[in-house]
């Protein structure tokens, strides 16, 4: 009986993080298919001034880019250790250092470049809050939690470094 109660507790606790099971206070990330893509990486790069852009680094390497549209009443909150793109010069440097010759983002972490396609950040009612691109090996799990009716809080967990360092 204790084993089943422990299993139930684990499922209840981790379900919102991994599966988006909770419809209450949690949102989700949804990878856009090529056919129903609302926005491409190149469109995000070119239209950068339409967004509040937040950056998260791991070991001085860019790991996560969040695009929060300026023209809506919804807001995305990130941790205090994130940096915000302040001007075109900063954005140009970020793009130059982290894109391929084809113009797509290539975020490298621990010598891997498993960069996601553009993912939608959705509220519990599937309302679009923004977009995110991240380096898959730099992020172990993502928590998308509703802070209030118009605000989402993003939390990221970095995996343990290879070799325990």
Residue of 47, 19, 21 lying closest to 118 (CA atoms): 47
Which pLDDT tens digit goes with each residue over 101-148?
Answer: 888 888 887 777 788 888 999 998 889 999 999 888 777 677 899 899
Contact by Cβ (8 Å): 43, 52: no
Q: What is the pLDDT of residue 87?
A: 97
pLDDT-derived band at 35, boundaries 50, 70, 90 = low
pLDDT-derived band at 93, boundaries 50, 70, 90 = very high
3-state secondary structure of 161: coil
What's the whole-model pTM score?
0.79
Phi, psi of 26 (to 5 degrees): -120, 145
Residue of 123, 124, 158 lying closest to 141 (CA atoms): 158
Q: What is the pLDDT of residue 62?
A: 87
Phi, psi of 4 (to 5 degrees): -70, -40
């Amino acid at each position: 009986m204790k084993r089943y109660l422990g299993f139930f507790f684990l499922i209840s606790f981790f379900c919102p993080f991994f599966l988006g099971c909770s419809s209450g206070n949690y949102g989700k990330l949804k990878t856009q298919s090529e056919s129903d893509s609302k926005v491409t990486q190149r469109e995000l790069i070119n239209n950068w001034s339409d967004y509040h852009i937040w950056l998260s680094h791991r070991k001085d390497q860019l790991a996560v880019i969040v695009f929060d549209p300026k023209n809506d009443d919804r807001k995305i909150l990130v941790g205090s250790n994130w940096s915000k793109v302040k001007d075109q010069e900063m954005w140009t440097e970020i793009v130059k250092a982290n894109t391929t010759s084809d113009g797509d983002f290539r975020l490298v972490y621990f010598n891997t470049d498993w960069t996601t396609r553009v993912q939608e950040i959705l509220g519990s009612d599937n309302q679009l809050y923004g977009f995110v691109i991240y380096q898959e090996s730099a992020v172990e799990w993502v928590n998308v939690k509703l802070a209030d009716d118009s605000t989402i809080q993003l939390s990221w967990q970095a995996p343990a470094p290879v070799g325990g360092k």
